[in-house]
Amino acid sequence: MKALISIVLLLLTYSSLAIESVAPMPFAAADTELMIPVEGGKVYVRVNGGLDKGDIPVIFLHGGPGLRHNSLAGLLGLADERPVILYDQLDGGKSDQPNDPKNWRMERFILELEAIRKALGVDRFHIVGHSWGSAIALEYSVKYPQRVASTVLAGTFISTPHWVADANILVNEAPKATQRLLSACESNSPPSEQQCEKAFTTLYSKYYRSPPTSLERSIYDTKTGGESLNLAIYNGMWGPSEFSSTGTLTNYNAVPLLNKIDGNKTLFMIGQYDSARIDTVQDFVEKTPGAELAVIPGGAHGFLSDRPLISEAVLRSWFRRNEPSH
C-alpha cells in the first residue's frame, strides 16, 4: 500500500510539473536527417539539437515491429535541453523496407542501434524504448552498458509469454458478448471483418487510446508519408493476432536479462490503463534491483502520445537525475 501511495504522489507531482513548466514543441522539423547504412539496408534517422555541444542525447525506439517514429515526435520539446534522436527501424517508416525475414532477428536490431550511435559520433545516450522498442532497449543496454546513460522501458514488452497472458486477462475482463465475438474472430471461421473490427475496437478503446489527431500530427504524417505499420514484418515476427504470437517472437523472453542491467539507471514507465499490466511490470521492477516505476495517470499503452505533457515531464526529470552533474 505504501508503494502504491508513493506512486500516486509521484504522479501528482509530475502532473504539476507538466502543466506548469513544460512547453512542448511537437512535430518540429528535424535539424538533421540521415540515411544510415545498417545490416540489410539503410535506416532513416532524424536529430533535433546539436550533437557537438556535450549534452547527453536521448534516442527513442518505436514499437511494432514495423511501426515508425511519428508518434514519438510529440516529445521533441526535450530538445531544449539535449539532442533528441528519432529513427525508423529497418522495414518501417522512411527506412528501407526489403521485407527479408533474415533481417528479423533481435541481434540485428541491437546492431542497428549501435550503428546509428557510431554514425552520429555519440559516446553515450539515454535510451527510451516503447513497447517492442523496450525489448531492443533492454537488450542493447545489457550488451553495451558503457554506451547507456539510462534506460527507459516504456509500455514494457520484454516477454511474449507475459504479454500474451496479460492480453488474455484483458480479454476476460471485457463484456461477455465481446469475449465471444473475439473468440470467434480468432477461429478458422471468423465473422465478417466489420464485426471483428468492432470487437477489437471495443476492447482496445480502453487499453490503446487514440486521441483526436492534432493538426500538427496530421501535417507531420502527411509529410512523412508511407504506411504506419508494415504488416510483413509485424506478422512475420509477431503474427496477425494480438492475443497469441505465431511469428519469430513466439518464445521471446528477456526477463532473465533484468538482473544484468544497472537497475539504478532503469525506469519502467507505463500508462494507468496500459495493456502492459501494472502487476506484471511491478514484477519486472522487483527483478531489477534499484529500478523505478512511473505510472502515467489517464494514459493507455500509447501514453507517450496520449499524455505527452506528463510523459515529457517524467522523462525530463529522469534524465537530469541520471547525469554526472546531478
Q: Are 269 and 152 in contact (CB under 8 A)?
A: yes
Candidates 113, 106, 41, 49; CA nearest to 81 is 49
- Scan for cell 535506416, then name that residue: 43
- Scan for cell 533481417, then name that residue: 103
- Scan for cell 515526435, then name that residue: 73
Candidates 204, 208, 228; CA nearest to 218 is 228
Q: Are 299 and 271 in contact (CB under 8 A)?
A: yes
Distances from the Cα of 79 to the Cα of 2, 23, 90, 227, 305, angstroms? 35, 11, 24, 27, 16
Q: Are 303 and 275 in contact (CB under 8 A)?
A: no
Q: Distance (Å, rounded) from C-alpha 268 to C-alpha 135?
A: 12
Order of all β-strands in the sheet with 58-61: 32-38, 41-48, 84-87, 58-61, 125-130, 148-154, 266-271, 292-296
Give me the helices (H) in the chain, please: 2-21, 106-120, 132-143, 160-172, 176-185, 193-207, 215-224, 231-237, 278-286, 303-306, 308-321
Residues annotated as catalytic are: 131, 274, 301
Cell numbers linked to 280: 506484471
Cell numbers linked to 45: 534517422
Candidates 74, 105, 92, 114; CA nearest to 248 is 105
